Every structure is written in C-alpha cells, then in structure tokens.
Chain A
C-alpha cells in the first residue's frame, strides 16, 4: 500500500530566483517518476525583435532582456557584432570592458549569495526574516552591491540599462581620476569579499556530488570574462564560432525554453562551478588562497557549494577591478570605426550565471538578418532537472515540506535567471498523497 503512494512536489512560484518559473516533481513509491522545470518564455521574442534593426541597437536592446545582467548581454552582443564586422578593439577598451563586467559580477553575486541564497542555508523564509537576526551581514551585502553598481554606473553612464558601451568601444571613456575614485570602495569590497568566503564556507551543505560536464571559457592568461576558447572537462575545446556545431537546443513540451545539450552527450553545467573548476589556476593569488582556506579545490562537484565559489569569484572581481583601474590608460579614441558590411559573428562571454552565446548575421546596410541568443539559464535547465531527479530520490523519506524546501534550494544553487531565459518563472511547491 505504501509503495503505491504517489507524491508530488510542485513549486509554482520559485521564490528568490530572478523572474518566475515552476517546478514539478512526482514521486511514486521509491522512485522519482517525473521532474519538470517549466519556463514559459524563450528569448525567441527578442531574437525576432532584433531582425531588421541596425547592429548598433543590438547591445542596448538585448541588455533589456535582464535587469540583473545587462552588461553580459551587451558584451556578448558587442563581441559578436565586432567579429561579424572584423573590428578590432583597443587594449584599453578591452580592459574597461573587463572592469565593467567586474561591476556586474559584484552586483549579481552579492545579490545572489546574500539576499537570495543564504536564507536557505540559515533556515529563513527570506532575507527579510534573516535581516532581523543578521543585520550586519545584510548591511555588508547592500554596501558591496552598491560598489558593483558604482562601477556599472560610472562605465555605463547611468544606473539601469547602461548605454555607453558601443560597437568598437565606448561612446565615452572615463578618465583615470574617475576610475581612481573607486579604489577606496573596492579595497573595502575586497576585504568584505574575503569575509564573504569565510562566512559562506561555514554554512552546512547537503552531501550531493554529481559527475558534471563543466563548460566555461578558458583564456591562456586570465580568469575568463569576454574572451577565450570554450572548453569542458570532457575534451571540448572549440572557438566560440563553433558553438552551434557542438551544442543543440531541444524543444521540450513542458517548457517554452529550449533545453540545451552537448551533441551526443547530454546535459552540462555552466556558471561559477564550471569556471572555477576549469580555470582555478588563473585566479589571482588572493582568490586562490581564499578558496583553499575555505576547503575548496577543483573539481568542486557539489552544486550547493556554488555559494562559496560565488564568494571566491567576488574576491576575484574586486581584485581584478583594482588591477584594471591601476593599469588603465585612456584609449586614443573611445571606439574603433565599425563600417557596415555583410558578415556573421558569434561570441560567448561569461555572464554571472554562465556562458551567454550570441550570433548575428548582418546585411550590407548593417541591419540584423538573424539573431540567436542562448542564455546561461536555458543551458543549465536540463542539468537542473537531472540534478533534481537524483536529489529528490535522496529525499523520499523526508516530510514533503522539507523535501520541497530542499529542492528549491537546489534550484537556487544555479542562480537561475529566469528573466533571461523567460520573463516569469513561477515556483510553486505542493505535495499530495494518493493511497489506495
């Protein structure tokens, strides 16, 4: 009788993820019968929206796909278009773009580590409840996030939906003095990030390791942002232009988002864990040491520990921002010329949540003929389902409320940005008993 009991975990409004989606897990007896993460709206709409627009509009249009990672969208769009046009950027522009990305990583990782994910580990419903008991921690988070925001604001020209990044460079580049004004804050942020690593390392993590295919950019000299080859721990090593030869998107009935898989292999993981495991030796000494002191050594295979890895990446982003400011000399011209020409260009950059692929085909007037965008969350989506299939099986004996909470926590470990993959991600959790 008991082994015929069917139970479902349904999270119709996933709280504390960016956007909305829903999660459905069906447990029958001792097995997990079904796992569906539903995402409702693919970036297809934006791809259609881009057709017929001039390439110079693409960075600004795509940056509005997501309020949390607009820089990532701008960066992938710019690099893809620059490849299509054969535009080479000034090394100073390249450095500024890294700094710009540091700002977004600081904002996004702080938001996720402290305000969205930490409450799971500490047993609070949300950060509002957590703030009552951990006020100083939440204040630290707000200050850290604000520093990321200052970088984005300075380079982006305004608070939201930055507008200064342009094909070939920037519409306007900052002076050395302007960048130096960030140094004091960033020195504080570096210390706060190291404290973040120590703090997250002390949390309790479920014992859950999986054999992931990690996929991330790799650059010969740097921890990756905008540049490098796409590699994995299973032998993938390609130029971003070859992405579509190796990855395919499958349409699945229960979700509008497409499931991305490695051709011939299946699901894969992008984001902090993948970057860390594939690029550990490229981290600056201060971040590497913080990781080791926190007990992290590659390969980290427990997705729940991604909160600590995000903290290590915060250390990296602060250290890298300070380096960029130190080395910065303004370029002779803010942006290289980018004349219209027929071409196709692809680019991959490392959004906070993982690789973001863009491809554009341009006509002789610089108008976009086709656009393709593959956001990190849709790349992780199949992997999230695969994880939940394994993880839910470990939770069969747990009361449904706790099992549901645990599953939500697992999903949040990916920091799914559902507003990138879709607009609303509703997460609703519910469980029912069927006995006969």
Chain B
C-alpha cells in the first residue's frame, strides 16, 4: 500500500497531509510526501495497486473535519477543494481517470483547514484531525495486511 501525504509544512494548516505522513513514519509505516501537484501525484502512484492520499482541503465543512472519499468515484467537491496548489488532488484523480492511470484502490482523506499563510503552526482542530487520520490509516493498513 502506498501512502502519500500532500502539502507544505511552511504553510500552516496546509502541512496537515505532510504531518500525517511524518507521524506514520515514526510508527514504522512507510509514507511518501508530495506537494500535491497533479502531474506529480499521477507519477507518484504509477504502478501502485492500493493508494491512500491525504491533503488539507477547504470544502465549507467546519475546520478539522475529516472527509474520506473513494477516489474511484468522482469527488463530490472536485471544484471546491481549495488545496494550495491550484492543480491538485481533485485534478490528479480526474486526469488519471481519463488516462486510465488510477490505482485499483484509491482512498482520499481531506482535512479541512483554516489558515494557509506562511508559518509552521497548525490549528488545534487540524492537529486533532491529523491524529484521527493517522488512526484511520493504521486501521486501513492492518485491514489490508489481514
């Protein structure tokens, strides 16, 4: 299973996906980090069968909400996720779908963020959401290995 945390640790809540990856690594679970730019993501999951992607999003839901999507389905918020990259996860999924380059299984965790300005501080609600996603991914990983 390939786990990818997206974002920028120097952009406040945009660091959420990276933080999830860092925490997983500390627990001995391999996780990749990426900016979340679409073409790069498609390359990153090339050849992988099962993929989990985590990124900070803005969907209108309260800060710290964790939203889970099946990437094989069209993302409901495809135009509303204000990821910091402009050309991000939603575009990666839709482009990969057209090009037939989606992994067989793709789980997306979006963590709703508040602040995206330069700085390393992460909102407390987002911190809690990061822990929640880490727990979910540990379950996903152990379910997959059973």
Extra 13 A-B pairs, beta carbons < 8 Å, given A149-B40, A423-B116, A423-B118: A41-B117, A65-B10, A67-B36, A116-B87, A131-B99, A135-B98, A138-B95, A138-B99, A142-B39, A145-B43, A159-B33, A160-B34, A160-B35
Which residues of the partner chain B approach A132 to less than 8 Å between Cβ atoms? 98
Q: What are 14 A-B contacts defined by CB distance under 8 Å?
A: A16-B87, A18-B85, A18-B86, A20-B86, A49-B118, A115-B39, A128-B94, A132-B98, A145-B39, A159-B33, A159-B40, A160-B33, A419-B84, A424-B84
Q: Does B82 contact A (CB under 8 A)?
A: yes
Give A61 to B43 CA distance when docked, in angstroms.
Answer: 26
> B39 contacts A128, CB within 8 Å?
no
Q: Does B38 contact A (CB under 8 A)?
A: yes
Which residues of the partner chain B approach A16 to less than 8 Å between Cβ atoms? 86-87
Which residues of the partner chain B approach A139 to less than 8 Å between Cβ atoms? 99
Q: Which B residues, 5 to 37, have Cβ-Cβ distances below 8 Å to chain A?
A: 8-11, 32-37
> A111 contacts B10, CB within 8 Å?
no
Q: Choose from B9, B91, B116 the contact partner of A126 (Cβ within 8 Å).
A: B91
Query: Which of A20, A67, A419 has the most C-beta atoms of chain B within 10 angstroms of its own C-beta?
Result: A67
| Bitwise interface map of A from 1 to 26 toward B, beta carbon under 8 Å scored 1, else 0 | 00000000000000111111000000
Smallest CB–CB gap between A366 and chain B, Å?
A: 21
Which residues of the partner chain A approach B99 to less than 8 Å between Cβ atoms? 131, 135, 138-139, 142
Known contacts A45-B117, A135-B99, A159-B34; decide if A423 and B84 are in contact (CB<8 Å).
yes
> A423 contacts B117, CB within 8 Å?
yes
> A115 contacts B8, CB within 8 Å?
no
Known contacts A149-B43, A423-B116; decide if A20 and B82 are in contact (CB<8 Å).
yes
Smallest CB–CB gap between B79 and chain A, Å?
A: 9
Known contacts A128-B95, A132-B98, A423-B117; decide if A64 and B39 are in contact (CB<8 Å).
no
Give A18 to B88 CA distance when docked, in angstroms.
Answer: 10
Q: Does A68 contact B (CB under 8 A)?
A: yes
Give A19 to B8 CA distance when docked, in angstroms.
Answer: 13
> B39 contacts A141, CB within 8 Å?
yes
| Bitwise interface map of B from 74 to 115 toward A, beta carbon under 8 Å scored 1, else 0 | 000000001011110001001100110000000000000000
Q: Which A residues, 90 to 143, have Cβ-Cβ distances below 8 Å to chain B?
A: 110-111, 115-116, 126-128, 131-132, 135, 138-139, 141-142
Q: Does B42 contact A (CB under 8 A)?
A: yes
Which residues of the partner chain B approach A160 to less than 8 Å between Cβ atoms? 33-35, 40
Count residues of chain B with CB under 8 A from any CB of chain A.
Answer: 30
Smallest CB–CB gap between A42 and chain B, Å?
A: 10
Give A48 to B118 CA distance when docked, in angstroms.
Answer: 10
Residue ranges of B at the interface with A (Cβ–Cβ < 8 Å): 8-11, 32-40, 42-44, 82, 84-87, 91, 94-95, 98-99, 116-119
Give A61 to B119 CA distance when docked, in angstroms.
Answer: 10
Smallest CB–CB gap between B122 and chain A, Å?
A: 15
Which residues of the partner chain A approach B43 to less than 8 Å between Cβ atoms? 142, 145-146, 149
> B117 contacts A115, CB within 8 Å?
no
Q: Does A405 contact B (CB under 8 A)?
A: no
Which residues of the partner chain A approach B40 to less than 8 Å between Cβ atoms? 145, 149, 159-160
> B82 contacts A111, CB within 8 Å?
no
Which residues of the partner chain B approach A19 to less than 8 Å between Cβ atoms? 84, 86
Which residues of the partner chain B approach A46 to less than 8 Å between Cβ atoms? 118
Which residues of the partner chain B approach A145 to less than 8 Å between Cβ atoms? 39-40, 43
Smallest CB–CB gap between B95 and chain A, Å?
A: 5
Give A65 to B33 CA distance when docked, in angstroms.
Answer: 17
| Bitwise interface map of A from 326 to 368 toward B, beta carbon under 8 Å scored 1, else 0 | 0000000000000000000000000000000000000000000
Known contacts A115-B87, A424-B84; decide if A131 and B98 are in contact (CB<8 Å).
yes
Closest Cβ neighbor of B40 among chain A residues: A149
> B98 contacts A128, CB within 8 Å?
yes
> B91 contacts A64, CB within 8 Å?
no
Give A141 to B87 CA distance when docked, in angstroms.
Answer: 15
Which residues of the partner chain B approach A424 to less than 8 Å between Cβ atoms? 82, 84, 116
> A111 contacts B118, CB within 8 Å?
no
Which residues of the partner chain B approach A45 to less than 8 Å between Cβ atoms? 117-119
| Bitwise interface map of A from 407 to 421 toward B, beta carbon under 8 Å scored 1, else 0 | 000000000001100
Give A418 to B82 CA distance when docked, in angstroms.
Answer: 14
Smallest CB–CB gap between A414 and chain B, Å?
A: 14
> A67 contacts B8, CB within 8 Å?
yes
> B86 contacts A49, CB within 8 Å?
no
Closest Cβ neighbor of A158 among chain B residues: B33
Give A386 to B40 CA distance when docked, in angstroms.
Answer: 34
